[in-house]
Structure 1
Amino acid sequence: MARVKFTAGRVGGFACPPERQQAFLWDEQQPGLGLRATPNGRPAFVFQAIYQGKTVRVTIGDPDAWSIAEARAKTRELQREIDEGRDPRNVKRAEIAATVAERDAKKAAKARAVTVGDVWPVYLQEGKPKRRDAWKPRYRADLEAMALPGGEKKKRGQGTTRPGPLHPLMAMRLDAITEDRLKDWFDREARASKHQAARALMMFRGFLRWCATKPEYRTLVDRDVGRAPAIVEALPQVKKRQDCLEAAQVSEWWQAVAQLPNVTASAYLRALLLTGARREEVASLRWADIDMRWRKLRLADKVDATRTIPLSDYLAELLAELPRRSEFVFASASKTGRIADARSSHERALGEAGITGLTIHGLRRSFSLLGEAAGAPAGAIAQVMGHRPSATAEGYRPRSVDALRPFLQQIETHILKLAGVEIKRADKPGKLRAVTS
């Protein structure tokens, strides 16, 4: 092998002839040190020697990164390894493996240090329920409230707010969420409110399921830890509510609601009974969703994006009489600009009417039962209410808005009759007036 004294010029100008696969230049000053070049690659310092009767070659590095003096020193180091009976290739592999292992260990330690509180904001941003593109605003707000640290001045009353039920879990590492720790957390929260703790647990289960779908968190969580028998057995029994207005109570309820000083809440509660819609569907109703000319109403829907139902006569007049304070039909001074919670008004009306145990959602059940009593088909009632289509309801077939109109008008007439409200045509064409008997 031809040897020359390595200089910066000789090293920098060395190249492989295009007709050859590789070329070598060897240093006459340091045995074993060479420069290897290929037609398409950059030259590199190499070490070559005999180990156990066979030629061994190890790449040292790029001449731009290694000076000639450094390459000579590395060559002497590698030669010592051979003299001591070690294969420098194995030594290099071991060093690389140790570096990778150290890097992986640091990465794993960093991953294990991730807490629930680190990931929770990401979950709020990227998580979503099944079959929907994003959280509903109310549920998103509840998720945020569940993890709040508390200590804020109460908006109503004296004192400060309590930490959310999920707040104690925020400081825990993801990989530390075990059955025993989750059970201890649930038992502590259940002492304050068993039902609130159960709801928080359901939300946290959703968080664990989401983590299990993400590669960066998947190995840190057990998605089924919240379903451990010890936890499930402690959950309160869920009783399906059956509250609704009886036919004999409709009159007293209607009169009490109609006399509420808050006209927006009064109209809102009656609209719930007359449509069977969910409370948020009616609360988020905008004036742009009402077609007074063709008597139609577009509601946000739980199953589909929206649904359109007929606008019955009395409800049309009820809505038309509301003042237009904002884009929302049931406007209020709340942050959202619309009615947020009418429970206090409803409780006041129930007290006046002498009715107990009727929730706002119970008005939805009342619409269904009163609709049956009015003789409307089950499929038409379900479609107006926005229930998922069911083949059990008269071989369910969707109806057009015009096909639904007589049935919804039939239900409204039945409810108004029970309420003691008589509808008469006013002098102005197309207008109605309600006469309470």
Structure 2
Amino acid sequence: MSKKLSKSVVDRAQPKAGDYFIWDGELKGFGVKIAKGGRKTYVCKYRAGRGRSAPTRRMTIGAHGSPWTTDQARAEARKVLGRAINGADPARERQEAKKQITVAELCDLYLEQGTGTKKPSTLATDRGRIERHIKPLLGKKKVPDVTRADIKRFLQDIASGKTANDEKTGPRGRAIVKGGKGTATRTVGLLGGIFSFAFDSGLITENPVRGVKRFPDNKGQRYLSQNELASLGQAFDKAAEEDTNPFAVAILKLLIFTGARRGEIEALKWKEVDLEAGYLRLADSKTGQKAILLSAGALEVLSQVQRFEGREHVFPSSSGDGYFVGTPKAWRKIREAAGLADVRIHDLRHSFASIAVSGGASLPIVGALLGHSDSSTTQRYAHLHDDPLKAASEAAGHKISASLSGGMRELRPVRDSTE
């Protein structure tokens, strides 16, 4: 497509099934790329050299909007195209300059351009690991200079607590960074993705994270026993009698009754609650749209939640139009009362799954209940099948023993036909 580019032309351009370009009718080589996801990026195209045999280069100027207006992008394109006419290769020069960026700059570039399919909650976790671990330890190093030895040292430093910190993040917030082997393993995993982005962008020729042996990640292996669940129930009752926010108690109960993620319950809206059918029908979650079955216990919790007129969230914030986010603070108090200091909120989700599996539910069923998009994620609960299998084996063994004991005298030796 070719027409005079203007702000209105770019604003009106709609995404299609695939990426496409609109080229300026006045300045040859200047255009805008409309990605299928809706992102609009100004570009310029030129030949690196003279003649038709010279290779064509396409160089990104910047995304439509702040700071790049159509006029500013056109002015930048004129500079690039002018340099190309005089024999320069601006795209290659930029690529060479990028190869000298620091790890901190690479992380910022990754967050800007390499995370298109990640959910906001995942991005928030990534940013935390980048700011609290990656940048402090590797941020100043040039990307091409990072070696496998650097990554091994990075892994050990996080595991030993070198990046541990406790800082205020606002008038009432704190960020407690402990480090440890699990954090080290997951952060190196993120770093591997960042360097894969650098490899795909032509900034490096080899990913230094590849081949580095990490610590076993035991994330998600904490399940509550029946006795611990009983203690938790008593702590819930005690919290309800004290000054603990009732929203926090209700949210925590729903987490253990449904196996949902904390963000899914905290941000729950009344229009997503179908009490009659017994479902939560989430418009969005970590894995997209999701339906969560409500057991009798979950239905009872929701039936006791006060509904505030004019507020769309089931658990609205005390001020503004947002939702309640004080669950972690309440959980720290409740778990201490229950003697479960090592249990995280997310372990309630794992406990729901472990109880379901131990009760005989198949892994595909549990995966469906939890909303796993990848069946391999559910495999962490595979070993829990041992309990129902052991019970079945014992029951079968008792029957066989009884049969053998009662019918042993009737057995006769069988003559071998080869004799």
> What TM-score bracket applies, with the shorter chain setting the length?
0.5 to 0.7
Q: Give the Å deviation of 1:125.
A: 2.2
User: Matched residue of 1:118: which SS?
Assistant: helix
1:179-258 matched pairs, under 5 angstroms: 179-191=148-160, 192=162, 193-195=179-181, 196-214=183-201, 218=202, 220-229=203-212, 232=213, 235-239=214-218, 241-258=220-237
Which of residues 256, 269, 280 in structure 2 aligns to 1:297?
Answer: 280
> Quick one: which amino acid aligns to residue 246 of structure 1?
S
Say whether 1:134 aligns with 2:117: yes
- Cα–Cα, structure 1 residues 336 and 171, in superposed 2: closer, same or farther, change >3 Å? farther
- Cα–Cα, structure 1 residues 254 and 137, in superposed 2: closer, same or farther, change >3 Å? same
Which of residues 264, 267, 272 in structure 2 aligns to 1:281?
Answer: 264
Which whole-Å CA distance do the structure 2 matches of 1:370 and 1:108 have between them? 53
Q: Give the Å deviation of 1:378.
A: 5.8
> Quick one: which amino acid aligns to residue 333 of structure 2?
R
User: Matched residue of 1:227: which SS?
Assistant: coil
Query: Is the CA contact 2:185–2:216 (under 8 Å) kept in the aligned structure 1?
Result: no
> Quick one: which amino acid aligns to residue 328 of structure 1?
H
Q: Give the Å deviation of 1:164.
A: 4.2
> Quick one: which amino acid aligns to residue 224 of structure 1?
N
Q: Give the Å deviation of 1:212.
A: 1.9
1:33-432 matched pairs, under 5 angstroms: 110-128=97-115, 134-148=117-131, 164-191=133-160, 192=162, 193-195=179-181, 196-214=183-201, 218=202, 220-229=203-212, 232=213, 235-239=214-218, 241-260=220-239, 261-299=244-282, 304-324=287-307, 326-332=311-317, 337-340=322-325, 342-355=327-340, 357-371=342-356, 379-388=364-373
Query: Is the CA contact 1:256–1:350 (under 8 Å) kept in the aligned structure 2?
Result: yes
Q: Give the Å deviation of 1:136.
A: 2.1
Query: Is the CA contact 2:99–2:204 (under 8 Å) kept in the aligned structure 1?
Result: no
Which whole-Å CA distance do the structure 1 matches of 2:154 and 2:362 have between them? 49
Which whole-Å CA distance do the structure 2 matches of 1:322 and 1:304 have between them? 27
User: Matched residue of 2:117: which SS?
Assistant: coil
> Quick one: which amino acid aligns to residue 363 of structure 1?
L
Which whole-Å CA distance do the structure 2 matches of 1:140 and 1:374 have between them? 35
Q: Give the Å deviation of 1:189.
A: 4.3
The equivalent residue for 1:158 is: none
Which whole-Å CA distance do the structure 2 matches of 1:313 and 1:187 have between them? 47
TM-score by length of 2: 0.53
Which whole-Å CA distance do the structure 2 matches of 1:103 and 1:379 have between them? 53
Which whole-Å CA distance do the structure 2 matches of 1:338 and 1:185 have between them? 38
> Quick one: which amino acid aligns to residue 113 of structure 1?
Q
Which whole-Å CA distance do the structure 1 matches of 2:89 and 2:238 have between them? 74
Question: What number of residue pairs does the alignment pair up?
Answer: 268
Query: Is the CA contact 1:368–1:381 (under 8 Å) kept in the aligned structure 2?
Result: yes
Which whole-Å CA distance do the structure 1 matches of 2:318 and 2:145 have between them? 44
Q: Give the Å deviation of 1:240.
A: 5.1
Which whole-Å CA distance do the structure 1 matches of 2:139 and 2:290 have between them? 39
> Quick one: which amino acid aligns to residue 221 of structure 2?
Q
- Cα–Cα, structure 1 residues 176 and 285, in superposed 2: closer, same or farther, change >3 Å? same
Which whole-Å CA distance do the structure 2 matches of 1:270 and 1:377 have between them? 24
Q: Per-residue CA shift, 1:328-382, capped at 9, x if unaligned?
A: 3233469993344634423322333344543323322332343356666665444
TM-score by length of 1: 0.51
Q: Per-residue CA shift, 1:97-122, capped at 9, x if unaligned?
A: xx859989955653443333334333
The range that moved more, 201-210 or 273-282, is 273-282
- Cα–Cα, structure 1 residues 175 and 268, in superposed 2: closer, same or farther, change >3 Å? same
- Cα–Cα, structure 1 residues 250 and 182, in superposed 2: closer, same or farther, change >3 Å? closer
Q: Per-residue CA shift, 1:57-78, capped at 9, x if unaligned?
A: xxxxxxxxxxxxxxxxxxxxxx
- Cα–Cα, structure 1 residues 122 and 334, in superposed 2: closer, same or farther, change >3 Å? farther
Q: Give the Å deviation of 1:384.
A: 2.0
Q: Give the Å deviation of 1:327.
A: 3.1
Which whole-Å CA distance do the structure 2 matches of 1:389 and 1:173 have between them? 36
Query: Is the CA contact 1:287–1:327 (under 8 Å) kept in the aligned structure 2?
Result: yes
- Cα–Cα, structure 1 residues 379 and 140, in superposed 2: closer, same or farther, change >3 Å? closer
Which whole-Å CA distance do the structure 1 matches of 2:91 and 2:117 have between them? 35
Q: Give the Å deviation of 1:202.
A: 1.8
Which whole-Å CA distance do the structure 2 matches of 1:334 and 1:168 have between them? 39
- Cα–Cα, structure 1 residues 327 and 122, in superposed 2: closer, same or farther, change >3 Å? farther
Q: Which has the larger radius of gyration?
A: 1
The equivalent residue for 2:16 is: none
> Quick one: which amino acid aligns to residue 122 of structure 2?
Y
Supply the RMSD in Å over aligned alpha carbons.
3.7
Q: Give the Å deviation of 1:300.
A: 6.3
The equivalent residue for 1:43 is: none
Q: Per-residue CA shift, 1:202-224, capped at 9, x if unaligned?
A: 2111111112222xxx1x31443
User: Matched residue of 1:328: which SS?
Assistant: coil
> Quick one: which amino acid aligns to residue 173 of structure 1?
K
> Quick one: which amino acid aligns to residue 204 of structure 1?
L
> Quick one: which amino acid aligns to residue 115 of structure 1?
T
